[in-house]
Amino acid sequence: MILVRSGNLTSEPLPLLLQSLYREHLTGVLLLEAAGGTKQIYFRSGYPVGVSASGAIDQLGRVLLDTAMITQEAFNQWSAVTLDDGTRIGQLLISAGVISDEQLREALKVQIRRRLFRLFYVERGVFTIQSGDHPVGVEGNEDLRIQPRRVIYQGIRNTWTSQRVKTAVAQLQGQALQLAVEPAVLARYGFSDGDALIAAVLAGQPARLEALAHTTNQPADAVNAVVCALYFTDALNLTPGNVPRSRSITPPTGEVALPPPTQRAQARPSATTREPQRPAPPRAASPPEAAPAPPAASRVPRSPPPQAAEPTKPSSGTYPAVPPTQEMEELRQMIGGKLRTLEKDDLFTVLGLKPDARKDQVKNAYLSLAKVFHPDRFSASRFAPMRADVGKIFRRLNEAYATLFDDERRSAYVKKKDAPESSPAEEARARAVLDGEMAFLQGEVAFKKRDFAAAVMAFARSVDLNPEEGEHLAMLAWSRLSAKQATLADIKRDLRNAIAKSPRCARAHYYLGVVLRDEGDPEHAIGELRKALEIDPRLSDAASEIRLINTRKEKQGGKSLLDRFRKKT
């Protein structure tokens, strides 16, 4: 690792650090030293991909439970599992069929965000930035990259006190603010409906911070938090005049002010050049003959709308406002009708398309519906009761566009949609098999720890849930023998039954070979051991037993696998 720079959180708070490292495409680590100890945030190409552990609340099992990816019963079962061989609990859950690969990635991202959010509480401390490659943040072949805009917004919104946010945006008072990124970028923040309205207003004409609360009918704390997040993420243009950008203020003790511009980027590159290349919903284009907008520095500031008046002009030059004469009841019926069909309709129907629709048809359908249901059209206060439903509709339209316009995502969606539905009996059977696999893995863990009684209980449950799996029955038989709950004759019958169910089960052949050897039948024992090696050449214990039989065929002093497991620790 190469030292890049260091500093303190008073002059460069965490939101500013995250944005600056994102802008610099850092691959490395940010070390924060504060009263609570040292924390490491790992980055890959500017994206946070890992954070050192904070406590039990953000452990993977708790995240999976909180996000409803596993049940309380599964959480109780797996939280007690201790792995001594380096196996990761996430991979163990996938092997057991408890969660999918995609669920694991999503849970790990939630885990990273939780740990990042907790660091937003830190107000004082020092930091060190190091550049260099590292293995953190890669799960399988996927990078666990976290969108910095979302982390910064939600960290400020949910952890900073109202006074801390107010102090941070104090120097923006009196300035005209306007969005400096494409409106589609706002989706990356994960704004709530009310906060999305604040950002949407800033996407239209310039507005002053002190007037936004009245214009949007949103609480002042929410306005300050949204503006603060947008400013920290280089998403705002400030109209020159009133308060220069270089002005800084001294915050009260424990609070954070926006740093002077020397610590921020001098140029604001377009957000679309920094974000991952994924299909963003298109904007409804202006007429081709329209002249391009002048550079931000040459724009003539416009006065904000009167505070007492409702805006009747479009909040954006792209989406026309709802005509004032349109009947409210008609609007409510239109919105309600569309909302009722969203969840049960597939994504093609959401956009009014057939399954064979071309990409240009997907784009045109999205644009047509976006003009009707874009939240900017409903920014006036008289439409407040409709905003939440309009937001749901617009998010569903965005989901439909993003899925159907991208070839890979569309193919996966169609494949999943067209898959035949399972009957309740088939689903119950599949669930039982998965539960059986989970119990089997628990039994293996207990067996490795030489807790044979616990292994017997776990393997017995796995056999009850999946009685056709021979390996489960073989492990139950061997665990019962190791726990002195069964005789050689008892488990020999069970092992033969296991082989009948699963002829390719190497462990069943191996255990039967050991039993036959201990019963004084070396020839048949060697036959079973050789079958085990034929199925699984890595089973070195089987080869050892064959050598033992060949060298001590008539003797009784050799230690078998059974002897080793019976040996007390």
For residues 99-131, one letter each, b for 16 or more C-beta atoms within 10 angstroms of the residue's C-beta and e for the rest, the string is beeebbbbbbbbbbbbbbbbbbebbebebbbbb
Q: pLDDT category, 133, cuts 50, 70, 90? A: confident
Spatial distance between the Cα atoms of 13 and 17, rounded to a whole number of angstroms: 6
Give 225-284 pLDDT, tens digit per residue: 999 999 999 898 887 544 333 333 333 333 344 444 334 433 344 433 344 444 444 544
Q: Tell me which residue of 326, 281, 305, 295 sits closest to 201, measured CA to CA.
A: 305
Q: Is the pLDDT of residue 329 over 60?
A: yes
Q: What pLDDT, on the 0 to 100 scale, is given for residue 72?
A: 79
Share of the chain above pLDDT 70, in %: 74
Give 207-216 pLDDT, tens digit per residue: 888 888 888 8
Residue that is written with structure tokens 């604001």 in the block: 268
Highest mean pLDDT (candidates 280-289, 327-336, 386-395): 386-395
Strands, sheet with 28-34, edge to edge from the N-terminal-most edge strand: 2-8, 126-131, 28-34, 37-44, 47-51
pLDDT, mean of residues 426-443: 75
For the chain, how many residues are written?
569
Residue type, 291: A
Residue that is written with structure tokens 């691959």 in the block: 27
Spatial distance between the Cα atoms of 128 and 31, rounded to a whole number of angstroms: 5
Q: pLDDT category, 499, cuts 50, 70, 90? A: very high
Give the CATH superfamily of 424-566.
Tetratricopeptide repeat domain (1.25.40.10)
Give 174-186 pLDDT, tens digit per residue: 888 888 888 778 8
In the chain, where does the domain assigned CATH 1.10.287.110 lie?
322-419
Give 510-519 pLDDT, tens digit per residue: 999 999 988 8
In the chain, where does the domain assigned CATH 1.25.40.10 lie?
424-566
Q: What pLDDT, on the 0 to 100 scale, is given for residue 176?
A: 87
Residue type, 463: V
Q: Tell me which residue of 429, 422, 461 sits closest to 444, measured CA to CA.
A: 461
Residue 3: strand pairing partners: 130
φ, ψ of residue 40 in degrees (nearest 5): -115, 130
Spatial distance between the Cα atoms of 502 and 386, rounded to a whole number of angstroms: 60
Q: The tokens of 461 are what?
A: 């449950």
For residues 153-178, one letter each, b for 16 or more C-beta atoms within 10 angstroms of the residue's C-beta and e for the rest, the string is bbbbbeebeeebbbbbbbbbeebbbb
Q: What pLDDT, on the 0 to 100 scale, is given for residue 230?
A: 93
322-419: in CATH 3.90.1150.10: no
Helices (H), 343-423: 347-350, 359-373, 384-405, 407-418
Strands, sheet with 207-208, edge to edge from the N-terminal-most edge strand: 207-208, 176-179, 236-238
pLDDT, mean of residues 116-142: 82
Q: Tell me which residue of 478, 469, 458, 460 sits closest to 500, measured CA to CA.
A: 469
Q: Is the pLDDT of residue 386 over 50?
A: yes
Neighbours of 272 (CB within 10 A): 12
Residue that is written with structure tokens 């997907």 in the block: 362
Q: What pLDDT, on the 0 to 100 scale, is given for residue 327?
A: 62
